[in-house]
Structure 1
């Protein structure tokens, strides 16, 4: 079942629960040159297209109608074209995000502002899902990460980091299960995430990444 923003129990009048039309209207009213300048993104004035890298692939996003196309590569699956919540993450980043680079330190979801509030949902939809989907399939996980050109990191039994948006990096760590212990996992975020993302965004982000892994595996 796809992750729903409603699963996060947002406040009733929270803008995060606004319909897709709300975001597209805000995007249409925004100044694409301002977006490009604020986020240091290429903007083609003639084509009225912003260029955004998301999870390893380059996308072209038209203004004012937010139509998404991708630059040809070997990924085989394109979340910003296929996944509704990936589109919401992207449009919110364009509207509200800022350029930032992490210090090199990574934090758990719990350590992020308001992370405690949504920790149960994040743990169930992201941490446990990652562990029980790939904790006994490390070879599949490795092949997917290499397909994404992710960077291996020295944690757990296997771990990789991926840049989801420019400057914003996620680490996914797995410990393989055995006869005595079930598989386990951890997801860490570069410490600059609060500059552009709320805890709610990060929960959806984890779900989008994990949901994408299955699609990428089919492309191998």
Structure 2
């Protein structure tokens, strides 16, 4: 994927919309004086300048793929309440098309890394602001954006059955991001969880 081109398109879309409306629908704050939208993203605070679409963090550079996801979230958010009902990736619009890349980027690495050490998933997930859930042998709900939660679940393997896992989304997910972005996010967060778990060891 050409991140630069995708980012330019995302900035153009963002610039056409009303910042107050975007902030309201995304459940975030708009600082009118600075003309900036303040977006919590994976337990950190990013700011987006309007109308330029420049995304920045006060302490570090924001990677291009993160910038795109943040802009897409603001442009796509419809303001519907969370449904508190979990759905699988293939239940997202056109999810069946992206299911193989999603499985290879998100579910397979999740199981490979955390299948034999489910407690490490909980510990790493908490570092991203996650809340423990009562599913599988270990599960954590990660607040990606204020209105986007993703659940990571593992079942520990034993002599009879191999370890398994899944990644689930709130049923309101299609009202906040396109399915392609969830395909990217799923794997991105697993990578972050693995990195945190490695540092914890």
Task: Tell me, yes or no, whether TM beats 0.5.
Answer: yes
Counterparts of 1:134 and 1:188, CA distance in 2: 16
Gaps of 5+ in 1: 7-15, 73-77
- Structure 2 match to 1:31: 18
- Structure 1 match to 2:49: 62
Counterparts of 1:131 and 1:154, CA distance in 2: 18
Counterparts of 1:83 and 1:137, CA distance in 2: 29
- Structure 2 match to 1:44: 31
Alignment of 1:15-164 (within 5 A): 18-63=5-50, 64-69=52-57, 81-164=61-144
Counterparts of 1:43 and 1:194, CA distance in 2: 23
Aligned length: 199
Contact 2:121 2:140 in 1 (8 A): no
Partner deviation per Cα, 1:15-74 (whole Å, 9 max, x = no partner): x9953222223334443233224434211122221111112222222222413115x8xx
**TM-score, length-scaled by structure 1:** 0.79
Contact 1:127 1:186 in 2 (8 A): yes
Label 1:42 to 1:82 Cα distance change in 2 as closer, same or farther (>3 A). closer
1:82, CA displacement in angstroms?
A: 4.2
Partner deviation per Cα, 1:182-205 (whole Å, 9 max, x = no partner): 221111100001112222121111
Q: CA RMSD in A?
A: 2.5
Label 1:65 to 1:188 Cα distance change in 2 as closer, same or farther (>3 A). closer
Counterparts of 1:195 and 1:31, CA distance in 2: 18
Contact 1:136 1:183 in 2 (8 A): yes
